[in-house]
Structure 1
Amino acid sequence: MKKLGVLILCISLFVSCKNDNKSNEIIYQDDDLTLLKGEFVYYDGAAVLQTSTEIYGVFLTDKLEELNKQAEAFKNHKTDMVTIEIRGKVTQEKDEKILWENKVEILKIISVKPANNQNEGLIKLGS
């Protein structure tokens, strides 16, 4: 039930906060790693990265934990998003825990910044 609540929270955040900012990009590299820029949230064991064109489920790894520690400095609430730039392996293989079509394993953290305040006035669920 808890995971369903997190999934609904993530979906509602992404649907209500459509970002037309084209500064969020996906850049493919020659070494099988992809440079991704976008909005990131990690809450209750689920991590999601939203770029300007796609939504990625993020694999739970040590790099994700490191990214989350860096992101905590920019959050006022646990469900706040931060702007990140990472390099990682993108896959569309099925996973029993991550239900998003696109998934990414973070291999390198390039930058972590506070998100744009477009969510000001947004009603937050939970405490």
Structure 2
Amino acid sequence: MKKTIFLVVILIVFTGCKNESKAPISGEEEHDQIDVRELSGNFIYFDDAGVLQTKSELFGVVEDEKAQELIKRAEPLKDQPTDEVNVTLKVKVTKKPKHEEGWENRVEIIDIITVSKVDEKNSKVIKLKSQE
């Protein structure tokens, strides 16, 4: 009888111990794995929003000190406020929180590697000009 009770207690203990994932603390959301990489593409900052466009993706740029540095470095290379500049950046890529608006992916700039004017001859951007 004692062995049976002991076995039942052991079974209850082992079945009661299961791997449970921690729930996020209130106010925090679970984020996807952070991805650090080097990206090259065109950067545009207009109307208080920065966007990095690579050959295959669009990223919203997190506005911080490094983004402000990039904006300042890009300004002299632009003829118009809507012009893009070619950049190579080391970035941290994350998904945007579900409750926020904006691009699906966002980048936080870690390091600015290059900033250059977009070659208009090889650019696929169509610019409209008014005829006066």
Verify same fold: TM over 0.5: yes
User: Counterpart in 2 of 1:23?
Assistant: none
Indicate the SS of the match to 1:116: coil
Match of 1:54 among 38, 57, 72: 57
User: Counterpart in 1 of 2:67?
Assistant: 64
User: Counterpart in 2 of 1:115?
Assistant: 118
Q: TM-score, normalised by structure 2?
A: 0.64
| Maintained 8 Å contact 1:82/1:112 | yes
The sequence identity of aligned pairs, in percent, is: 40
Indicate the SS of the match to 1:70: helix
Which residue type is aligned with residue 67 of structure 2?
L
Q: TM-score, normalised by structure 1?
A: 0.67
Change (3 A) 1:104 1:120: closer
User: Is 1:86 aligned to 2:77, yes or no?
Assistant: no
Change (3 A) 1:78 1:95: farther
- Unmatched segments (≥5 aa) in structure 2: 1-34
Larger radius of gyration: 2
CA-based RMSD: 2.4
- Unmatched segments (≥5 aa) in structure 1: 1-31
Q: Deviations over 1:66-118 (max 9, x none)?
A: 00111012100111000000001100131655510110000100000001212
Within 2, Cα distance between the matches of 1:120 and 1:52? 13
| Maintained 8 Å contact 2:96/2:103 | no
User: Is 1:40 aligned to 2:39, yes or no?
Assistant: no
Within 1, Cα distance between the matches of 2:101 and 2:76? 26
User: Is 1:102 aligned to 2:108, yes or no?
Assistant: no
Match of 1:73 among 73, 76, 81: 76
